[in-house]
Amino acid sequence: MGHLDPRYIELMDETCEMLRAVYQTENPLTFPVSATGMAGMECVVTNLMEPGDEAIVCVNGVFGTRMVDVMERCGVTVHRLETDWGKVFSEEDVADEIQRHPKAKVIGIVHAETSTGAHQPLEGISKIAHEEGIMLVVDAVTSLGGHPVKVDEWQIDAIYSGTQKCLSCPPGLSPVSFSPRAVEVIESRKTKPQSWYLDVTMLKDYYLGKSKRAYHHTAPVNMVYALHESLAIILEEGLEARFARHERQHRRLRAGLDELGIGYIPEHSLHTLNCVRIPDGADDAAVRASLLDTYNIEIGAGLGPFAGKAWRIGLMGHSATQANVDLLLAALVDCLE
């Protein structure tokens, strides 16, 4: 089907409606950006921010750092609020930073820091930001579909994710959602977004057009079909049941690793991304290679200051099962011996 075929438009509209259900939002402007997760970050930043704007970005890992980079490339003055990798930000941290930078237009924060496994609470921070008239931008690449992401309840103004993590869809799309407040900000810009491809003022005429959809770019029809199917599977399972499954398998993995003397790094750990310390004497690369070659199990290496010190074990979507957890634990015993 072509990307303007009426049957495809119907499929796309159903996909966006299911995305709203998974994001737990009524935001009309909720759609899959035609590129991977980092395009979602670029889409949010390039549309909300203009040269000369100020932003606060919370940095506790790779993807907070990347948000800073993207914003600075847009001519934004970024105030970095930093904490140690593996830690999360308190409401007091954010409130103090806002007082130091009252002209900030947005505060950007990572809900699920893939590089450290840290799970960031958002509700209190959102309340503080909105009391000061600041928009909240959230990275939910590793949480959407595996942890509750309550866009409307938490008053998130703009959010992005990726399809290849907890949605269990091939990589290639980045679901985004913009609140009505964010759309007002976008529509009142003084300058055009620096990216034509990610310009929401044009994209919304394709995703939200009434009588006729305005052509913008050739949408990846097969990818949207795949996302449609993955979202249908998620909603068939039920969000609460899905979140409970991820938590259950996380706890099973955690108990098994504890028996092996392998501890977690973050105090507030994601269920979907388990970041653990490499045990003393273990050869990082050799163990990971053995897991992959012998058992067809891939776990992630540590990034940044965690390189050579941590393993990152994903339990996301379709892979978050008891069979996979038990296989990994048995395989780790074998590889470590």
Tens digits of pLDDT across the chain (337 residues): 898 898 999 999 999 999 999 999 999 999 999 999 999 999 999 999 999 999 999 999 999 999 999 999 999 999 999 999 999 999 999 999 999 999 999 999 999 999 999 999 999 999 999 999 999 999 999 999 999 999 999 999 999 999 999 999 999 999 999 999 999 999 999 999 999 999 999 999 999 877 688 899 999 999 999 999 999 999 999 999 999 999 999 999 999 999 999 999 999 999 999 999 999 999 999 999 999 999 999 999 999 999 999 999 999 999 999 999 999 999 999 999 8
H-run or E-run covering 258? helix 239-259
Contact, 41 vs 70, CB < 8 A? Answer: yes
Residue 191, classified by CB atoms within 10 Å of its CB into exposed (0-12), middle (13-18) or buried (19+), is: exposed
Which fold is adopted by the domain 239-336?
A: Aspartate Aminotransferase, domain 1 (3.90.1150)
Q: How far is CA 166 from CA 144, 185, 315, 316, in A?
A: 6, 30, 8, 5
Strand order in the sheet with 300-301: 273-277, 310-314, 300-301
What is residue 267's predicted lDDT score, i.e. its pLDDT?
93
Tokens matching residue 128: 């503080």
State how far the Cα of 305 lies from the Cα of 327, in Å rounded to an integer: 29
Q: How far is CA 27 from CA 22, 151, 154, 240, 291, in A?
A: 12, 9, 13, 21, 43
SS3 (DSSP) at 18:
helix
3 state SS of 301:
strand
Give SS3 for 248. helix
pLDDT at position 4: 87
| Sign of the CA dihedral with 148 first, then 151, 154, and 157 last | positive
Provide the residue type at 45 as one letter. V
| Domains in the chain: boundaries | 6-236, 239-336
Neighbours of 161 (CB within 10 A): 31
Query: Which residues on adjacent β-strands are paired with residue 119?
Result: 112
What angle do helix axes 284-295 and 322-336 make, rounded to 10 degrees?
Answer: 130
> Which CATH code for domain 6-236?
3.40.640.10
Distance CA 295, CA 51 (A): 50
Which residues in the chain belong to E strands, given as ranges?
30-33, 54-59, 77-82, 106-110, 112-113, 118-119, 135-139, 158-160, 174-178, 273-277, 300-301, 310-314
